[in-house]
Structure 1
Amino acid sequence: MRDGTPGAAFGAAAVFLGAGVAGGAWPTGWAALVCALACGAVGTTLLAVRRRGRDSEAPEEVRDAVSDLAEHDAAVKPVRPGRSSLVAAAVVWALALLAGGIWTLTAGDDTEAGDGTEAGAPAKPSASSDAKPSVGWLVPAAGQRGDKGVGSWGLGPTVAHGRIDGLFAYDSADGSLRWSVPAPPREALCAMSPKTGEGVGLVAHGRYEKPCATLLAVRASDGKVLWKRQLGGEGLDGGALAVGGATAVTAEDGAVRGRSTETGEQRWQRRLGKDCTVLALDADATRTRLVEQCGKGARLVALDTRTGDRRWTRDLPVESAARASVVSVSPVVVDVDEADARGTHAFLGFDDEGAPTATVPLTGPEGALSALWSVADGRTVRPLVLDGLLITFAEKDSISPSTVVAYSLKDGRKVWAHHSEEQLMALAAEPDGSVAYLGFDASVTLLDRSTGKVRRVLEPDAGKRPTVSIHPELVPVPGGHVVLNQILLQGEPAAFALR
C-alpha cells in the first residue's frame, strides 16, 4: 500500500490541475509557479519517505557492508538512508514557500490584470460604475463686475453664449471657440431669441441708454450674420424677439413683425392698438404667443407664425401695470406679476384654443416660485414644461431656492416636490426626459420627471469645483453639461463643462 502513495499523490495533483483547465481557471504567472513547486515538493517528499523506508527494511548484512566500505575508504562519507531525497524535498519546499510569498505580495497586480485586462493597464469600469465627473474645460471670466448675459443656445456639439460683449460659440467637447459675433464698439448685446429655428437665431445690440435697436440673424452652424436691420422708434419692446421655424418674430416700433430668417424680408406685420405694448412673446414654426398690455388691462394673443393671422385672444386677469413672460408656446403657459399687490401673481395655463386650464400662484405652500428675469423679484430660472407639468424652483425659509416642485397643468395641483440640502441654481431638460438641476456646489442632479425621484447625482471632486455665479444656465451636451455664468461678480468663469 505504501508503494502506491507517491503515484496516488501525483494522480490527485493531476486531477486537480485538470479540473482547473476544464473550468477555464488554469493558473498563470506566480500562481502557476507556486502550484508547480508545491506539487514537486509533495512528490519529492513522498519519494524521500519511500526510499528511507526501503533502506530501513534492508537486511542487516547489507547495512554492515555499507559501513565497512565507508570505514575502508575515509574519503567516502557514509550515505544515510534517504538523505539526498529529503534534502531535495526541503529545497523544493523552500522554493515553493518563497514563490508563495512573492505571489502574495504581488497578488494585487494579478487581480488588476484579470477580466481580460493586461497587468499595468487600467481596469475596465463595471456597468455600475459611477465615477465622479470632471471639469472638462473652462473659459476664464470675461468683462467687468456686474456684466449680465442675455441667454444661450444649446446646439448639440456647440453651445452659444450671449454675453454683453457679443455672441460666442464653444465646442462642447473641449471648450475651443468655434465662432463669435462680437458686439460693435460701444454697443452691448441686449436681447437674444430663446432658441434657434432651422439653424438660425436672433440677437440685438444697443448703445448705452439707447434703444435695443440693431437686429441680426445669425446662422448657428458657423456664426455667419445673414442680415442686419436697424429698427425704428424705441427698438424692441422689452427685448421681445423669437424664432419660429423660418420666421423671425419681433415686437418693435408699435407692431409685431414676421421676417424671413434667411433674408430678413418682412412677411407680415400686426399693428398694436393705441396705448398698447408687448410684454413678452415666443413662437414655434406655426404658433406665436404674445402678451399685450393696453392701458391697465392685458391679454394673451395667438397668431399664425407664418402669416401673422390672429387665431384667438384671451383677456388676462390684470388691472394694473404688469410684467409677463411666455413660458411655453404649446401648451400655453405664461407668468404674470402685477404691480397691484392684490392682483395676479401666477403661472397661467391655457389649451391651444385659449381656454384656461390651470393657475399656479407665484407664492404658495411651497414658498415663492422662481420665474424668468422679466417677472421674478427673487431667484430667476427658466421653468420647464414637460408632459403636462410645470416644473420650477421654490424658496420657503431662506433667500435661495432649495426645492424643485412640479404642478399639473390640468388643474394646478402639486404633483411632486424634491427637497435638497443644496442651493439650487438652474434647471434643464435632459435628452432622456429627466429633469436636471445645478447646485451651487457645481453638482448636477437628475430627477425622474414624473415622480421627482433622484436618478443620479453628478458631483465633481471638492477641490476642483469651479465657481457658480448667482444666475447660471445649465445646458445638456453630448457626454455631459455646460454651465454658463450669466452675471459676473467675483471673477467666476464665463463657462465650464462637467463631463
Structure 2
Amino acid sequence: MTRGRTAPVTAAVLLSGAAFGAAATFLGAGVVAGSWPRGWTALGCALALVAAGVTGLLAGRRSRTTAEPQDGVPGPDLAKADGGTTAGRSPALVAGVVWLLALAAAGTWGLTAAGDDEDDEEGRASGQPAASASASAAPRKAGIAWSVPPVGAKHDEGVGAWALGDAVAQGRLDGLYAYDSATGAVRWNVSAPTRQALCGMSSDAEQGIGLIAHGRHEKSCAELLAVRVSDGKVMWRRTLPGTGLLARGAAVGGGTAVTAEDGAVRGRSSETGDQRWQRPLAKGCRVLAVDADATRTLLAEQCGTGARLVALDTRTGAQQWLRELPVESRATAAVVSVAPVVVAVHEDDKRGTHAFLGFDGKGTPTVTIPLSGPEGELTAPGEAGDGRTARIVVRDGRLITTAERDGLVPDRVVAYSLTDGRKAWEYASEHQTAALTTERDGRVAVLEDAAGARIVLLDAGTGRPGTVIAPENTEAQLSIAPELVVAADGGHIVVNHLLMQAEPSAFALR
C-alpha cells in the first residue's frame, strides 16, 4: 500500500470503528437490559466503545504498515493466491461491512424506541394499563431530622394522625400529641384522663377542629372532645350514652362534627358542640362506616342481611339519596372517599361482595373494583381490609392502593380508573409497600420498608417512579402499621401506629 492511499483508508477505519462502537452499544444494552439506551447514558456508552474500537483498529493498522514497501524495496506479497483481493482493498471491504451493520443496528434501535413511545401514548390515551414500572432513579440521601421515642408497651396501637401543615398530630393511647414538623418538639397535647385511653378520632381535622374520644378499659368509648388544632384547646366535650362512639365513627365536615353513636348519627357544631340534627337508626340497623366533608355525609349501615349507603346533607342532616348495596350477609365497610363517592365492602359470604364500589353524585353505581383478582389482594382501609391501613389515594379519577400478589405483604402500588374500573398503571416494588399519601405537587408518595424506611415518589398519571428518598442509616424503623404524612416544607413524617419492637412513635425524613 502506498503512502498516498493511507489517508482515505485510515479515515474509513476510524469511521467504521466509531460505527462499530455505537452499534455494539445499542445492541448489547438492548440484549442485557431489555430496553434500548437513551439520552446521556447511550452517548456515554457509545463514546466509550468508540474509543475502544478505534484504538484496536489503529493498532492493527500500525502492525500492517511494517509490511508495506519502504524506499522502493518490495515487501512480501499479501494477496491471495488467485490474485482476486489485495491487501489495499481489505480495510475498505471490512469498513463497508461494519458500516452496514451499524446502520442496521441504528435503524432497529430507532424503530424500537419509537414503537415503545407510541405504545405508551396509545395506552394512556385509551385507558389501557401502562407497562409496569419499578424504582430506577438514584436515591436522594436523606437523614432523620427528629424522632419521638417509643411510647407504651408492645402491641399498643394508636388511633390515627392528622396532617396539620407545619405540625402533625398523633393519636396515642395516652392522648393526642402535636409535633412541630421541623423540630419534632411537642407543641401541645391533650392527655387522656387517668385510667382512660384514646379510643377514637376523626379521620381529619377541618376548619381547625378535630374530634377525639376517651374510654375506660373494656368500657364504651364515651367521652367525646373537640380540639382546636392550632393550640390544643378543648372546645367542648360530651358524654355519649349507651355504647358511646362506634368504631371509626367520628368525622368533621366543614363546621359540623358528625358522630355515629349508639342508636343514632348526630351532627353538632364543631365550635360549640350544639346539636344540629340527628338521624335515628331503624330497628335492626347498625352503622358500618361514616365520613363527611363540608356538603355531604356518607353513612354505610346494615339492616338485617342487607346494607345501604346513605348520603346526608352535612349541615342539616337532610337525606340526599339512598342506595342499596349488593350485600346479602353480614358485612364490614369503609368510606374511602366522600367526593367522589367510593366505599369498600367486604361480606362474610365468600361469594358475596368484596370490592371497592364507586357512585356518582346522585348515588348511581359507576364502578366495581374487586378486592381480589389478577393483581392480587388489594389493600382496603378499616375493617373492610386489614384493619390497619390508614390511607388510600383517590385523585384525578383514579383509585390508588397497594396490593399483595406473591408474598404475605403488599409489594406493589396499583391505580384503577373510577370511570370503567380498569387498571391504569402498576408500580412493582422490590420491598414492602407500607403506606401511601399525596405530595403537595400531586405525586404519589410510597413508603417502603427496605431494611428501614424509604420513600419513592410516583407520577400520579403514569405510576412512573421519580425521586427516591433513602435515609443513610437504619434508625428509621417502620412498624406494621405506619402512616406517611407530608409536611408544609416538603419533608416527610412517619407515624408508627402499632408498637412492635421499640420502633419510634414518629420520625421525620429530610
**TM-score bin, normalised by smaller chain:** 0.7 to 0.9
Identity of aligned residues (%): 61
Tell me if 1:134 matches 2:148. no
Which of 455, 459, 465 is residue 448 of structure 1 equivalent to?
Answer: 459
**Corresponding residue SS for 1:267:** strand
The one-letter code sitting in structure 2 at the alignment partner of 1:193 is S
For 1:177, the equivalent position in structure 2 comes to: 186
For 2:363, the equivalent position in structure 1 comes to: 354
Tell me if 1:290 matches 2:281. no
Tell me if 1:253 matches 2:265. no
Distance, in Å, in 2 between the alignment partners of 1:350 and 1:244 is: 20
Residues 79-119 of structure 1: per-residue CA shift (max 9 Å, x gap):
xxxxxxxxxxxxxxxxxxxxxxxxxxxxxxxxxxxxxxxxx
Q: Would you say the 8 A contact 1:379–1:400 is kept in 2?
A: no
Q: Could you tell me how far 1:378 is from its partner in structure 2? A: 7.9
Which of 297, 315, 326 is residue 324 of structure 2 equivalent to?
Answer: 315
Residues 251-276 of structure 1: per-residue CA shift (max 9 Å, x gap):
11211100001110001111110011
The one-letter code sitting in structure 2 at the alignment partner of 1:495 is A
The one-letter code sitting in structure 2 at the alignment partner of 1:228 is R
Tell me if 1:267 matches 2:276. yes
Distance, in Å, in 2 between the alignment partners of 1:482 and 1:257 is: 33
For 1:403, the equivalent position in structure 2 comes to: 412
Q: How many residues align?
A: 371
* Pairing of 1:332-411 with structure 2 (within 5 A): 332-377=341-386, 380-411=389-420
Which of 177, 187, 193 is residue 196 of structure 2 equivalent to?
Answer: 187
The one-letter code sitting in structure 1 at the alignment partner of 2:436 is L
What TM-score do you get using the length of structure 2 for normalisation?
0.71
Q: Would you say the 8 A contact 1:237–1:277 is kept in 2?
A: no
- What stretches of structure 2 of length at least 5 have no aligned partner? 1-136
Q: Would you say the 8 A contact 2:202–2:251 is kept in 1?
A: yes
Q: Would you say the 8 A contact 1:139–1:494 is kept in 2?
A: yes
Distance, in Å, in 1 between the alignment partners of 2:387 and 2:376 is: 12
Q: Could you tell me how far 1:136 is from its partner in structure 2? A: 0.2
Distance, in Å, in 2 between the alignment partners of 1:182 and 1:266 is: 25
Distance, in Å, in 2 between the alignment partners of 1:271 and 1:412 is: 35
**Corresponding residue SS for 1:236:** coil
**Corresponding residue SS for 1:237:** coil
What TM-score do you get using the length of structure 1 for normalisation?
0.73
Tell me if 1:415 matches 2:424. yes
Q: Would you say the 8 A contact 1:190–1:239 is kept in 2?
A: no
For 1:124, the equivalent position in structure 2 comes to: none
Residues 425-462 of structure 1: per-residue CA shift (max 9 Å, x gap):
1100111000001111310000000000012101111x
* Runs of 4+ off more than 6 Å: none
The one-letter code sitting in structure 2 at the alignment partner of 1:465 is E
Distance, in Å, in 1 between the alignment partners of 2:354 and 2:140 is: 43
Q: Would you say the 8 A contact 1:370–1:381 is kept in 2?
A: no
Distance, in Å, in 1 between the alignment partners of 2:191 and 2:390 is: 26
Q: Would you say the 8 A contact 1:347–1:362 is kept in 2?
A: yes
Residues 107-146 of structure 1: per-residue CA shift (max 9 Å, x gap):
xxxxxxxxxxxxxxxxxxxxx9975111000000001101
Distance, in Å, in 2 between the alignment partners of 1:416 and 1:183 is: 44
Tell me if 1:475 matches 2:480. no
* Pairing of 1:234-249 with structure 2 (within 5 A): 234-249=243-258
For 2:475, the equivalent position in structure 1 comes to: 465
**Corresponding residue SS for 1:433:** coil
Residues 189-239 of structure 1: per-residue CA shift (max 9 Å, x gap):
111101111100000111111111110000000000000000001111223
- What stretches of structure 1 of length at least 5 have no aligned partner? 1-127
Distance, in Å, in 2 between the alignment partners of 1:348 and 1:479 is: 33
Q: Could you tell me how far 1:159 is from its partner in structure 2? A: 0.2
Q: Could you tell me how far 1:376 is from its partner in structure 2? A: 1.3
Distance, in Å, in 1 between the alignment partners of 2:412 and 2:474 is: 26
Q: Could you tell me how far 1:401 is from its partner in structure 2? A: 0.7
For 2:500, the equivalent position in structure 1 comes to: 489
Distance, in Å, in 2 between the alignment partners of 1:204 and 1:177 is: 20
Q: Would you say the 8 A contact 2:337–2:394 is kept in 1?
A: yes
For 2:337, the equivalent position in structure 1 comes to: 328
Distance, in Å, in 2 between the alignment partners of 1:191 and 1:381 is: 14
Structure ranking higher on relative contact order (CA contacts 8 Å, 6+ apart)? 2
Q: Could you tell me how far 1:382 is from its partner in structure 2? A: 1.9
Q: Would you say the 8 A contact 1:135–1:464 is kept in 2?
A: no
The one-letter code sitting in structure 1 at the alignment partner of 2:501 is Q
Name the Cα RMSD after superposition. 1.4
Change (3 A) 1:361 1:428: same
For structure 1, which segment, 375-384 or 290-299, has the greater mean C-alpha deviation from structure 2 after superposition? 375-384
Distance, in Å, in 1 between the alignment partners of 2:412 and 2:494 is: 20
Residues 21-59 of structure 1: per-residue CA shift (max 9 Å, x gap):
xxxxxxxxxxxxxxxxxxxxxxxxxxxxxxxxxxxxxxx
Distance, in Å, in 1 between the alignment partners of 2:250 and 2:484 is: 22
**Corresponding residue SS for 2:471:** coil
**Corresponding residue SS for 1:212:** coil
The one-letter code sitting in structure 1 at the alignment partner of 2:273 is G
Which is greater in Rg?
A: 1
Residues 158-204 of structure 1: per-residue CA shift (max 9 Å, x gap):
10000111100000000000000011111111111011111000001
The one-letter code sitting in structure 2 at the alignment partner of 1:475 is V
**Corresponding residue SS for 1:374:** helix
The one-letter code sitting in structure 2 at the alignment partner of 1:202 is L
Distance, in Å, in 2 between the alignment partners of 1:232 and 1:381 is: 28
Change (3 A) 1:273 1:378: closer
Distance, in Å, in 1 between the alignment partners of 2:140 and 2:457 is: 15
Distance, in Å, in 2 between the alignment partners of 1:479 and 1:312 is: 39
